[in-house]
């Protein structure tokens, strides 16, 4: 397990890139097992690819999404409610995996 330093997380891609990749991959695997894989892949490739993980000592990890995530999704027919349900589950899985990977 990687020793986590909140100050080093400011430059997360230089200091924690492998751990971030692992957390996102683990979350993807968990969500892909529970939901339609076409939708999960679309969210992963078209929305979460532009997301940004952050850490706050009071609230923990959180993921900032790009503006208008539903409008970013193309090639997948899904209503907004279903999209938001799966996206929310995926973001929660990422945040949980970040906590697990960094043991925070």
pLDDT digits 0-9 by tens, 2-14? 689 999 999 999 9
pLDDT score recorded for residue 3: 83
The H or E element that residue 55 is part of is strand 52-56
CA–CA gap between residue 36 and residue 57 (Å, rounded):
34
Residue ranges for the chain with pLDDT beneath 50: none
Q: Which residues contact 79 (CB under 8 A, 6 or more apart)?
A: none
What does the pLDDT read at residue 102? Answer: 94
| Cα angle value 39/69/11 (rounded, 5°) | 105
pLDDT, the chain, mean? 94
């Amino acid at each position: 397990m990687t020793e986590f330093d909140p100050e080093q997380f400011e430059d997360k891609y230089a200091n924690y890139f492998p751990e971030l990749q692992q957390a996102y991959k683990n979350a993807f695997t968990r969500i892909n097992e529970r939901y339609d894989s076409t939708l999960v892949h679309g969210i992963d490739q078209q929305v979460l690819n532009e997301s940004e993980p952050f850490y706050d000592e009071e609230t923990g990890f959180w993921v900032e999404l790009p503006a208008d995530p539903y409008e970013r999704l193309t090639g997948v027919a899904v209503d907004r409610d279903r999209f938001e349900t799966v996206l929310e589950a995926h973001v929660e899985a990422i945040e949980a995996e970040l906590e697990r990977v960094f043991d925070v």
